A and B are shown apart, each in its own frame.
Chain A
């Protein structure tokens, strides 16, 4: 039924359509606005699920790929000097979408978290219409990032997430919202600038292909990811084009470092993490769900998609450095999470720690580690979305999320406390819940090459137990302060996303093959490159 439709485009643009629809709804009718927003968030999720059901790892995602000409600019041939066999030059940016074993898990994650976050947006008390318009726009950007197969398109979608996010933090956040929004924009804007530079290097030096036209051979520069991959694999690519233009080693390193910084900021990688602390504490919970659940994963995705796949030699050469940064992330985040008094900050630092595991997975350079990194990204997305959902519900009831002010909530809100405990256990990597699998695979992957470093990183798992139990037990157990005696437990609309997320966390923990099977052949190309280029 859906085979003949451009499913990927639908997934990306339906939220945008929703955003327009919401714009034309009467603003005073909160129910209609919210209902429409939820509807337009759920439809892409259903499409993503259909994608999941019909995706076959062995075949890959070619069946779903979409391609169309979008921007084509003839270039002044004289600027390039005259080449013997090239008649004209052209700059082409195409509309290319694709999906594979790496992006599909993240698309699913986006669908789930976005749908749940829109349900969780009941806490939003003002300007629903603007809120949901931006919220749906943000979703378009996120889907686009994971589905784009052209660096220009990727960049545009990447930027598309920044703007709505800025307003979502700045308008609906807590006390220090403006500052947090500014910090967010400046940091990520910087990251985007650096990323753009890297992409320009890639387009100019790697993204060329030639076509025969009536006037002679035409050399086309494009941002197409597949072209880049093909050029990289083709040993004659450099010779067959103007060799000066192909990526020199220095340029490759420049591009790699730029990409590392750009996506490192998003991930966040130590020492670029301070911006996300502010966002975690000041943004509204539903927005942090998206932010911590999906936006951080764009960093991991970008690192794998561009830094790893396009520059495997550089990745190999810097794998030790990456692993060290990863371990620093894990331990630094974990130790700091152990001493925070604000629950949101505990979660923020724990995100730093958890994303360090993703770095370890990438640094491992083997399939186990890569799959572990993606698994960890998905799992952490679900878990942190759930945790911030709970933060929202707790804050709504108690007016605070400080650990030293809360306590004994298991007596009045047993459901919320139970879910909180489950989410906490998942985030400390309890087997049987999803957190463990990503962690285990990443460590396992890295262990084959860097044993001592992995062993140090594993200490992070212990510290995770310390900070999770310390904060969760302080909130749920112990004596109940007088003023929280009459709290009401979760309403249905709050409980629904919690139950869904918890169920997914348990499901992925019990039967991880649900996700790992998808990724089976996703890394084949990269692994082959690594093998041929660096001999293992």
Chain B
């Protein structure tokens, strides 16, 4: 079957890249025009992606690979290539759709910012590199785009550069994810020297690790897989490299929706899916992925319970949900992971954009100062509510299906992982209920005047909410226990459905219990809100301070690096430079000694000359005689 449109897939990232170039070169002074250019570029990308995806769905097209020689140096011969498969087509649609909606939303949200063009150019660059990451046909190009999305994330987190917190958060995000990137880089170096013909493209990886496994020893395979996973941990905010993601909420909210919820943070999951053959070749690596994922899911969900910043709650929720995806990968279900990535992209983007609308309306992020906004902001409240239910996993919304797929897969592997998953589902429902009830119901606790002025945002901001809400409702039906369409499409019929009655019942029960408990505490007030904090103040404090991980890292890495630096600075000054000064001083001292002789007395010079002559004569004469 011919793949007409897949050949033009390179155009998908090219549109936003062009927008970035135009805005950077000429965009100074433009405001809304520039923003519209970027938005239209993302729309064009979306349209093309959609066409590609439809073509592939309808005709079951074959994979397409294209590219050009990028770097030839010695043994290295890398191409910059792109590959269109069903998996990448799906990701293209998700990324371009969310990017387009976020662009549209930002037209309203960032409307008054004087550096709007810069913002849109960064978003365009991000979209382009994210699409490049998705399309990359080899690990090298993927790594290049991987770093580029990281830098765009950094730029956008620090977009409000006057705020010192934004600066610190941007720096932290870049450096912490870089730790993960180093893992990926070393994995690439390893692969390069172990792979036959130094091939880094995914087709060869599949060949070597799947079809003819055994070429590369298990220990090396495990090492490579774990290093790749380190990269994924950094990007997807998994424990212990999760610390940057909540801080990244200093960036503008649309960015949190696009980068730190829907697309970039999911890149880690995507990376593992893309290189899953390597993971499958090593059980140890898979177990690590599952355990890290499960732990992160639970760990982040508990922190989410005690946060008071609306965006931070969502951020920890993102960390937790990404943990779910990793769990799914660890138990071997790429379908469940991709499915959850797909649905999560929509409802989490929805939640962030909804939160953005709230922040836009009342200019605070502290949920203790909100309340009762439901009646003033109907559209926001309704769509946000749908997002909450979807995230909590209430049937038949999308989150239910994908979470259920993960839990079923986990149950097949280990009851413990399953138990952690269910517990996480409970906490998830609880903190989302807390968030929703505190923000939208009850009485207004903040400034009355602001509250009175609060209203729904303009259409550019509402339409994305509605579209995403609709998707949050329906997107789950692509893969239900009854029909495994997504899985069979993605992997061309390889996947099997996971449907466990126990899993469905347990997850729905946990979610409902969580929401009910939340309702009792935060809406109805049957249970006093300080029921826990009065009895176990240390626990609440522990959660509020995020288990003191930040403080620990500060002590462990930042301070020790600074200490080492100071010590080395002294060393450099005293020992290294000291040796130089000593050498210089010695020469100078010798010179000073010699100047003693140069006392200006001709007679002294004469004496020296005479003595020297005598010595010379004696030496010559002596040589003659001996």
Residue positions of A touching B, CB distance < 8 A: 186-187, 270-271, 273-275, 332, 335-336, 338-340, 366-372, 375, 408, 410-411, 425, 430-432, 436-437, 440-441, 443-445, 447-448, 451, 454-455, 458-459, 461-463, 465-466, 469-470, 473, 476-480, 511-513, 516-517, 519-520
A338 and B558 CA atoms in complex are apart in Å by 10
Query: B63 contacts the other chain (Cβ, under 8 Å)?
Result: no
Query: B612 contacts the other chain (Cβ, under 8 Å)?
Result: no
Please name all residues of chain A whose beta carbon is closer than 8 Å to the beta carbon of B148 when the two chains form the complex: 430-432
Known A335-B561, A513-B72; further 14 A-B contacts with Cβ < 8 A: A186-B584, A271-B579, A275-B580, A339-B562, A368-B76, A369-B74, A411-B161, A447-B189, A451-B190, A458-B185, A462-B175, A469-B170, A469-B174, A480-B162
Please name all residues of chain A whose beta carbon is closer than 8 Å to the beta carbon of B565 when the two chains form the complex: 335-336, 338-339
A433 and B73 CA atoms in complex are apart in Å by 17
The 8 Å CB contact of B74, one of A340, A368, A458, is A368
The 8 Å CB contact of A477, one of B70, B158, B186, is B158
**Contact string against A for B residues 513-550, beta-carbon threshold 8 Å, 1 for contact and 0 otherwise:** 00000000000000000000000000000000000000
Please name all residues of chain A whose beta carbon is closer than 8 Å to the beta carbon of B182 when the two chains form the complex: 458-459, 461-462
- Contact in complex: A448, B193 (CB < 8 Å): yes
Residue of A with least CB distance to B115: A414
A367 and B76 CA atoms in complex are apart in Å by 9
Please name all residues of chain B whose beta carbon is closer than 8 Å to the beta carbon of A375 when the two chains form the complex: 73
Say yes or no: A274-B170 contact (C-beta < 8 A), given A336-B568, A338-B565, A432-B144: no
The 8 Å CB contact of A462, one of B71, B179, B193, B584, is B179
**Contact string against A for B residues 148-179, beta-carbon threshold 8 Å, 1 for contact and 0 otherwise:** 10010000001001101011001100110011
Among B123-165, those with CB < 8 Å from A are 143-148, 151, 158, 161-162, 164
Please name all residues of chain A whose beta carbon is closer than 8 Å to the beta carbon of B167 when the two chains form the complex: 473, 477-478
Please name all residues of chain A whose beta carbon is closer than 8 Å to the beta carbon of B166 when the two chains form the complex: 477
- Contact in complex: A274, B577 (CB < 8 Å): yes
- Contact in complex: B577, A408 (CB < 8 Å): no
Query: B192 contacts the other chain (Cβ, under 8 Å)?
Result: yes
Residue of A with least CB distance to B178: A465
Residue of B with least CB distance to A369: B74
Please name all residues of chain A whose beta carbon is closer than 8 Å to the beta carbon of B170 when the two chains form the complex: 469, 473, 477
Query: B566 contacts the other chain (Cβ, under 8 Å)?
Result: yes
- Contact in complex: B186, A338 (CB < 8 Å): no
| Nearest CB of chain B from residue A22's CB, rounded to whole Å | 35
- Contact in complex: B171, A470 (CB < 8 Å): yes
The 8 Å CB contact of B189, one of A370, A372, A454, is A454
Please name all residues of chain B whose beta carbon is closer than 8 Å to the beta carbon of A463 when the two chains form the complex: 561
Say yes or no: A368-B75 contact (C-beta < 8 A), given A336-B568, A432-B147, A478-B164: yes
A348 and B584 CA atoms in complex are apart in Å by 22
A520 and B77 CA atoms in complex are apart in Å by 12
Please name all residues of chain A whose beta carbon is closer than 8 Å to the beta carbon of B151 when the two chains form the complex: 425, 430
A465 and B565 CA atoms in complex are apart in Å by 15
The 8 Å CB contact of A444, one of B69, B76, B164, B171, is B76
Please name all residues of chain A whose beta carbon is closer than 8 Å to the beta carbon of B144 when the two chains form the complex: 431-432, 436
Can you list 27 A-B contacts (CB < 8 A)?
A273-B576, A275-B580, A332-B568, A335-B561, A336-B568, A339-B566, A367-B75, A368-B75, A370-B74, A431-B145, A431-B148, A443-B185, A448-B193, A454-B189, A462-B175, A462-B178, A465-B174, A465-B178, A466-B561, A473-B158, A476-B161, A477-B158, A477-B166, A479-B162, A513-B69, A513-B70, A516-B73
Among B293-318, those with CB < 8 Å from A are none
Say yes or no: A513-B171 contact (C-beta < 8 A), given A339-B565, A476-B161: no
A431 and B146 CA atoms in complex are apart in Å by 9
A249 and B557 CA atoms in complex are apart in Å by 47
The 8 Å CB contact of A338, one of B143, B190, B561, is B561
A454 and B562 CA atoms in complex are apart in Å by 23
Please name all residues of chain A whose beta carbon is closer than 8 Å to the beta carbon of B33 when the two chains form the complex: none
| Nearest CB of chain B from residue A514's CB, rounded to whole Å | 10
Residue of A with least CB distance to B584: A186
* Smallest CB-CB A-B distances: 3 pairs: A367-B74, A339-B565, A368-B74
Please name all residues of chain B whose beta carbon is closer than 8 Å to the beta carbon of A462 when the two chains form the complex: 175, 178-179, 182
Interchain pairs with CB closer than 8 A, number: 139
- Contact in complex: B71, A512 (CB < 8 Å): yes
- Contact in complex: A366, B74 (CB < 8 Å): yes
Please name all residues of chain A whose beta carbon is closer than 8 Å to the beta carbon of B146 when the two chains form the complex: 431
A512 and B80 CA atoms in complex are apart in Å by 11
- Contact in complex: A431, B171 (CB < 8 Å): no
Query: B572 contacts the other chain (Cβ, under 8 Å)?
Result: yes
Query: B597 contacts the other chain (Cβ, under 8 Å)?
Result: no
- Contact in complex: B158, A461 (CB < 8 Å): no
- Contact in complex: B164, A479 (CB < 8 Å): yes
| Nearest CB of chain A from residue B240's CB, rounded to whole Å | 15
Residue of A with least CB distance to B171: A469
Please name all residues of chain B whose beta carbon is closer than 8 Å to the beta carbon of A513 when the two chains form the complex: 69-72
A454 and B73 CA atoms in complex are apart in Å by 19
| Nearest CB of chain B from residue A260's CB, rounded to whole Å | 18
| Nearest CB of chain B from residue A187's CB, rounded to whole Å | 8
Please name all residues of chain A whose beta carbon is closer than 8 Å to the beta carbon of B192 when the two chains form the complex: 444, 447
A193 and B70 CA atoms in complex are apart in Å by 43
- Contact in complex: B566, A447 (CB < 8 Å): no
Among B45-76, those with CB < 8 Å from A are 69-76
- Contact in complex: B162, A445 (CB < 8 Å): no
Query: B569 contacts the other chain (Cβ, under 8 Å)?
Result: yes
The 8 Å CB contact of A441, one of B73, B171, B174, B579, is B73
A369 and B74 CA atoms in complex are apart in Å by 8
Please name all residues of chain A whose beta carbon is closer than 8 Å to the beta carbon of B572 when the two chains form the complex: 274, 336
Please name all residues of chain A whose beta carbon is closer than 8 Å to the beta carbon of B568 when the two chains form the complex: 332, 335-336, 339
A469 and B144 CA atoms in complex are apart in Å by 19
Query: B617 contacts the other chain (Cβ, under 8 Å)?
Result: no
A336 and B74 CA atoms in complex are apart in Å by 33
- Contact in complex: B175, A465 (CB < 8 Å): yes
A299 and B151 CA atoms in complex are apart in Å by 33
Interface centre among B72, B73, B189 (most CB of A within 10 A): B73
A411 and B70 CA atoms in complex are apart in Å by 37
Residue of B with least CB distance to A352: B572
Residue of B with least CB distance to A410: B161
| Nearest CB of chain A from residue B86's CB, rounded to whole Å | 27
A513 and B186 CA atoms in complex are apart in Å by 23
Please name all residues of chain A whose beta carbon is closer than 8 Å to the beta carbon of B569 when the two chains form the complex: 336, 339-340
Residue of B with least CB distance to A455: B186
Please name all residues of chain B whose beta carbon is closer than 8 Å to the beta carbon of A369 when the two chains form the complex: 74
A371 and B565 CA atoms in complex are apart in Å by 32
Residue of B with least CB distance to A439: B185
Say yes or no: A473-B175 contact (C-beta < 8 A), given A431-B148, A461-B182: no
A355 and B564 CA atoms in complex are apart in Å by 21
A423 and B580 CA atoms in complex are apart in Å by 32
Interface centre among A274, A375, A451 (most CB of B within 10 A): A274
Please name all residues of chain A whose beta carbon is closer than 8 Å to the beta carbon of B74 when the two chains form the complex: 366-371, 441, 445
A425 and B178 CA atoms in complex are apart in Å by 13
Residue of A with least CB distance to B565: A339
Please name all residues of chain A whose beta carbon is closer than 8 Å to the beta carbon of B580 when the two chains form the complex: 187, 274-275
A338 and B566 CA atoms in complex are apart in Å by 9
| Nearest CB of chain B from residue A305's CB, rounded to whole Å | 18
**Contact string against A for B residues 74-115, beta-carbon threshold 8 Å, 1 for contact and 0 otherwise:** 111000000000000000000000000000000000000000
Say yes or no: A366-B75 contact (C-beta < 8 A), given A338-B561, A473-B170: yes
Interface centre among B72, B166, B185 (most CB of A within 10 A): B185
Please name all residues of chain B whose beta carbon is closer than 8 Å to the beta carbon of A440 when the two chains form the complex: 185
Interface centre among B74, B561, B562 (most CB of A within 10 A): B74
Say yes or no: A271-B161 contact (C-beta < 8 A), given A368-B76, A512-B70: no
Please name all residues of chain B whose beta carbon is closer than 8 Å to the beta carbon of A461 when the two chains form the complex: 178, 182, 185
A519 and B584 CA atoms in complex are apart in Å by 41
| Nearest CB of chain A from residue B152's CB, rounded to whole Å | 11
A441 and B192 CA atoms in complex are apart in Å by 11
**Contact string against A for B residues 550-582, beta-carbon threshold 8 Å, 1 for contact and 0 otherwise:** 000000000001101110110010001101100
| Nearest CB of chain B from residue A144's CB, rounded to whole Å | 28
